[in-house]
Amino acid sequence: MPSSVTALGQARSSGPRMASNACCCCPAAVQRRLPILAWLPSYSPQWLKMDFIAGLSVGLTAIPQALAYAEVAGLPPQYGLYSAFTGCFVYFFLGTSRDVTLGPTAIMSLLVSFYTFHEPAYAVLLAFLSGCIQLAMGVLHLGFLLDFISCPVISGFTSAATVTIGFGQIKVGTVPTQDTALRPLPVRRVGDAVLGLVCMLLLLVLKLMRDHMPPVHPEMPLGVRLSHGLVWSASTARNALVVSFAALVAYSFEVTGYQPFILTGETAEGLPPVRTPPFSVTTANGTISFTEMVQDMGAGLAVVPLVGLLESVAVAKAFASQNNYRIDANQELLAIGLTNVLGSFVSSYPVTGSFGRTAVNAQSGVCTPAGGLVTGVLVLLSLDYLTSLFYYIPKSALAAVIIMAVAPLFDTKIFRTLWRVKRLDLLPLCVTFLLCFWEVQYGILAGALVSLLMLLHSAARPETKVSEGPVLVLQPASGLSFPAMEALREEILSRALEVSPPRCLVLECTYVCSIDYTVVLGLGELLQDFQKQGVALAFVGLQVPVLRVLLSADLKGFQYFSTLEEAEKHLRQEPGAQPYIREDAVPDPRVTLLKA
């Protein structure tokens, strides 16, 4: 397996540098766009064995989850399966992570439900348009935009989505009575509630068994290894096992003529037809045009692609870091975008990277993205041969699968961590969390704006370190940009020129890596103010690019010293300290010495 990681890593290491120096058709560029070429030539039988086991494990998880997530999206159950296989085949060619699996997820299904009004045509069109947007972002290398969505904002959104999805599944145990005229209020079905709780308990027990399994050693007895493998298989395929158990219970009641559970019901048989996405919809009231459909989906055309990319890239980065290999974020954008575009031709709704199924994939020992082929084939086989059996799956069992899948997404630890590390970061988290219960797009937008305002405030008001002594030394603790110039000027004036008598000052610029025109003007004005007061302002620790800019500006009275000691000596009027520029510091033959 380490060699597979190396092969995938080598594909990433080619990076933008080689792409910029070579034509788009050179082998390195082609390999960067088709990562399969990095690992396929060295594919081994051992990898095939591990990929098959992992793909089978993920498939047994994906099928019941797909049925459950279709319920969250408000769509017929077959649409969950339609959405579960395209990503497996696309990622085989384009994916840069061996662990990631693409398909329907709880959060994406919630967004689809919110923006598509439980209409399959809207959901499929949303997949197509989202994929086009994601592809465009990948082609234009706009993946860096995702970096402006901070971790507290993401955590606030996922936690709010978890609460919404979890409470949304409680309705599965509640149905209207038949006599709606006399008894319009819903009544709780005890059978569904009991079965749902039993399924959740079984899923929890199997998960705990998986988490606490001791490692297997070759010297262990054969019986111990076999029992270990049996427990591992049962806990890995726990979703399929629990759903099958619930379906068997429901079928047993069906045979007796009494059914205490709400069943999934009829699921369309066979593979989905290949056809273009619906660009218009005919209803009893007329035809809804493409423009009207886009207007109806509104902010969903921005929120769904963005959240899909965030979720997928976050999952890929997390497992790449955990398993010591690299991913290409822009290539991931292309993979998820093409998956959604192609998926829309087989009636898929928007998909993204699944954290839960990716974890199953990694824990199963997957070696390459080829494991997804097994998962995709398994989903297709279930569509072709097993849909008649899905009729007996109780909805409460699928609700249990959803609740257990989204429960880990509610991050309780982050509240304690932010309280210890930086309490101000709790603000965007709480803003996002609370507003997402009102409107998802407003929650994400408000959280991102709060984070951006905090970022701008730190840039406009950087911390400064002040050292009192014979000579006042002031050091900006971060970069220096135009929003920060006024605050720096006010602090310098208050500490050096608005005191009696005025004091000389050394500006220590070690952390300043670049300056702009506004900063140059501000420093020039400060130099003039110091000259009027009869004191000096000196600079220390200027990096070469900053020094070049200041020299080009030809500031009157500009003094630069290589060390703080020399600056202090000169400002105290001690002999032997002259301001200068070392020749090797600035590769400009015209500048050799700068005198006071």
- pTM score > 0.85 for this model? no
3-state helix/strand/coil string of 396-424: HHHHHHHHHHHHHHCCCHHHHHHHHHCHH
23 has pLDDT over 80: no
279 within 8 A of 118, measured Cβ to Cβ: no
Q: Which tokens hold the place of 11? A: 């594909």
Question: How large is the average pLDDT for residues 72-85?
Answer: 95
The pLDDT value recorded for residue 579 is 53
Q: How far is CA 160 from CA 290, 307, 328, 349, 409, in A?
A: 32, 14, 29, 22, 10
Assign 39 a pLDDT band (cuts: 50, 70, 90): very high
Say yes or no to pLDDT of 218 above 80.
Answer: no
* Domains with residue ranges and CATH for the chain: 44-177+187-212+225-270+328-410 (no CATH), 419-460 (no CATH), 464-594 (3.30.750.24)
CA distance 486 to 464: 13
**β pairing state of 174-175 and 102-103:** unpaired
537-540 and 560-561: which strand pairing? parallel
d(CA 448, CA 154): 9
In which band, very low, low, confident or very high, does the pLDDT at 506 lie, cut at 50, 70 and 90?
very high
Per-residue pLDDT tens for 96-109?
999 999 999 989 99
Mean pLDDT of 383-403: 90
Q: Which one of 89-93, 213-217, 360-364, 577-581 scores highest in mean pLDDT? A: 89-93
For position 133, what pLDDT does the model report?
Answer: 95
Measured in degrees and rounded to the nearest 5, phi and psi for residue 505 equal -140, 140
Q: Which of 267, 346, 295 is nearest to 63 (CA)?
A: 267
pLDDT, mean of residues 422-436 = 90
SS3 4: helix
Mean pLDDT of 535-555: 90
Query: Does the pLDDT value for residue 130 go beyond 60?
Result: yes
pLDDT, residue 229, reads 82
Distance CA 258, CA 79 (A): 29
**Two tokens at 547?**
């020094």
